Amino acid sequence: MPLPKRCVEPVHVSRGTVPERLAVPSELEAVTNGTLANTVRQLSSLSKHAEDMFGELTREATSLADRTNVLQARIDRLAIKVTQLDSGVEEVSLQDIQMRKAFRSARSFQQQLFSRSTMPSAMLATYARCDRPPPLERLNEFRDDGRDARKFYTDPDYFFELWRREMLQDTERIQHDRGKKVRQPRSNNAEGRGTRRVRVPHSTRDRQKAEVVTRGEHIMSSNQLCRYNIQQYRPDPLYQTTTVPDGGYRAPASRPASQPARPNSIEIENQQNRTPRLTGNGHIVGEESPYGPVEPIYGGSIAGTPRRARPSIPPPAPPAPLQPDSPQHHTPTRSSLPPPPPPPEGSTSPPAMNGASPPHRTALDAHLDQMHAVIGMMSVEALPPRAPTPPPAPPAPPPPEEERPRPPSPASLLRGASALKPPRPAADPAPDPRSDLLKAIREGIKLRKVDKRGEDSAGKYDTLRGVPALHDVASIIARRVAVEFSDTSSDNDSDSDDSAQWTDSRA
């Protein structure tokens, strides 16, 4: 039903113009006079409406004029600034460009456009004439469920609630689905090469922290956790089939029920990577403990370079001979890259570590393989200042007992031999890029914090408007957009990062 905005009254100008009780000499004149009087009333009503209308138009035009003036001033300022710009004189360092904060528009969503406050006055007057709803709120005290009794009669927020609930559920579902989708293709790809499967760590820092806190326990009780793994992760058959050939101890994966999959598998990779290396070099098992302190240093990088166990299965493309060269090639470029952009979800820091870690680690491998145990210990002592920086920082997990007496395989021997080729310089260029990398990681973490702060401020803004966060259209839509955007971006990121990692490890 169309609701007229303004009604010119009276509508019936000639009705009731003849006075009933009063005798009039001429009824025709009475009708004429009454009609004329009502017409004049109509005119007055019309002029009132016209004044109201012109007032609204004037207000709107004035606000537009104000905005235009402000805009004109800004344009003038901008014009002056642009004319003053001189690329020949001004020096812009690359560092500054990279470190510049992302532009964030201060514009806000317009919302609540059809609320009571924006209702035109004429319609408000019409509205005020309506009958009030029955005072059902007085029955609230008799309700047990705490719901407002009047909402059963009339609820202006009903459709918004409906929409809000649907949108939020939709968002959750999308997040959930995307999470699944991201995981599945990985596990498919992981078939045939173990590297990709474990490299997927989409672990947030919190997870990693929690893992750091509780890590010692699962590693120790690997047998027990093996049982957990079988129970918990049966639906992922690819994972188990690929892990079984590695000796069956990775399947334990030392995962508790509540822990995310990847970081734990990373730990296990730690153990695997270390043992072949030592045995292959002939420094035997007893050197586990001297190298123990090294682990926290390279934990982050190791986390990004998951490999299969060398002894049992030679990887498809073991990059052993070329690896010692890689630090010189890749790490500087990596370190010169800007800190990773802050995607909302926790996919940022793992890619950063993934991308840059293998060269460091291989450099370290070469270094350690080449050196004697004592020298290795000395180098370890030299390194610790950089130690605490990597965020995941897994402490040295003592490898399972049955792992140690494994004989050196041809692959590991080959690796050890190849690692002998590059002399010490491989270790020397490493520190600087690594510190840069760690710096970059730190920057990345900072960036994420900044992003969170922005979200918080957005929430505050909403609450400042009197609408709690996620209870208004703008924030809901913003969250939805953020979710979709983050999913696509994280996909892209991880994909590109995977490929980069793959080429890195091959190079």
Partner 1 sequence: MSTPPRETIQKQIQQDWANREYIEVITGSIKKITDFLNSFDMSCRSRLATLNEKLTSLERKIDYLEACVTKGETLT
The residues that touch partner 1, with contacts defined as CB under 8 A, are: 8, 13, 26, 28-29, 31-32, 35-36, 39, 42-43, 46, 49-50, 53, 57, 60-61, 64, 67-68, 71, 74-75, 78, 81-82, 85, 96, 99-101, 103, 105-107, 339, 443, 446-447, 450
501 and 186 Cβ atoms separated by less than 8 Å = no
How far apart CA 355 and CA 507 sit, in angstroms, is 13
User: Shortest gap between Cβ of 35 and partner 1 (angstroms)?
Assistant: 5
User: Shortest gap between Cβ of 45 and partner 1 (angstroms)?
Assistant: 10
Burial class for 229, CB neighbours closer than 10 Å (0-12, 13-18, 19+): buried
User: Shortest gap between Cβ of 192 and partner 1 (angstroms)?
Assistant: 41
User: Shortest gap between Cβ of 437 and partner 1 (angstroms)?
Assistant: 17
Tell me whether residue 89 or residue 130 sits nearer to partner 1 (CB atom).
89
Tell me whether residue 71 or residue 284 sits nearer to partner 1 (CB atom).
71
Tokens standing for residue 90 = 């001004």
User: Shortest gap between Cβ of 273 and partner 1 (angstroms)?
Assistant: 34
User: Shortest gap between Cβ of 39 and partner 1 (angstroms)?
Assistant: 5
How far apart CA 482 and CA 63 sit, in angstroms, is 32
Tell me whether residue 397 or residue 444 sits nearer to partner 1 (CB atom).
444
Tell me whether residue 71 or residue 125 sits nearer to partner 1 (CB atom).
71
Tell me whether residue 9 or residue 236 sits nearer to partner 1 (CB atom).
9
Instruction: Answer positive or negative: Cα dihedral of 454, 459, 463, 465.
Output: positive
User: Shortest gap between Cβ of 473 and partner 1 (angstroms)?
Assistant: 18
Please give the angle made by the CA atoms of 476, 482 and 487, to the nearest 5 degrees: 135
Tokens standing for residue 445 = 């973490």
CA-based nearest residue to 393, from 199, 217, 197, 205 = 205
User: Shortest gap between Cβ of 13 and partner 1 (angstroms)?
Assistant: 7
* CA distances from residue 481 to 106, 374, 470, 487 in whole angstroms, order as listed: 17, 56, 13, 10
Tell me whether residue 68 or residue 169 sits nearer to partner 1 (CB atom).
68
Instruction: Report which DSSP code applies to 394.
Output: -
User: Shortest gap between Cβ of 60 and partner 1 (angstroms)?
Assistant: 5
Q: Provide the phi-psi class of 60: left if phi over 0, else alpha when psi is between -120 and 50, else beta.
A: alpha
Q: Is it true that the peptide bond before 10 is cis, omega within 30 degrees of 0?
A: yes
Tell me whether residue 40 or residue 139 sits nearer to partner 1 (CB atom).
40
Rounded to 10 deg, the angle between the 261-281 and 294-304 helix axes is 120
How far apart CA 395 and CA 208 sit, in angstroms, is 12
How far apart CA 404 and CA 375 sit, in angstroms, is 22
Instruction: Answer positive or negative: Cα dihedral of 183, 186, 188, 190.
Output: negative
* CA distances from residue 429 to 326, 337, 425, 460 in whole angstroms, order as listed: 11, 17, 7, 47
Tell me whether residue 364 or residue 445 sits nearer to partner 1 (CB atom).
445
Tell me whether residue 68 or residue 499 sits nearer to partner 1 (CB atom).
68
Tell me whether residue 51 or residue 155 sits nearer to partner 1 (CB atom).
51
Tell me whether residue 122 or residue 469 sits nearer to partner 1 (CB atom).
122
Tokens standing for residue 20 = 């009933």
How far apart CA 403 and CA 250 sit, in angstroms, is 11
Instruction: For residue 331, report the phi and psi dihedrals to the nearest 5 degrees.
Output: -65, -40
Tell me whether residue 53 or residue 477 sits nearer to partner 1 (CB atom).
53
> Chain-centre distance of CA 238, in angstroms?
28
User: Shortest gap between Cβ of 71 and partner 1 (angstroms)?
Assistant: 6
Helix (H) or strand (E) holding 403: none
Cα dihedral 259, 261, 262, 268, rounded to 10, equals 90
User: Shortest gap between Cβ of 90 and partner 1 (angstroms)?
Assistant: 9
User: Shortest gap between Cβ of 50 and partner 1 (angstroms)?
Assistant: 5
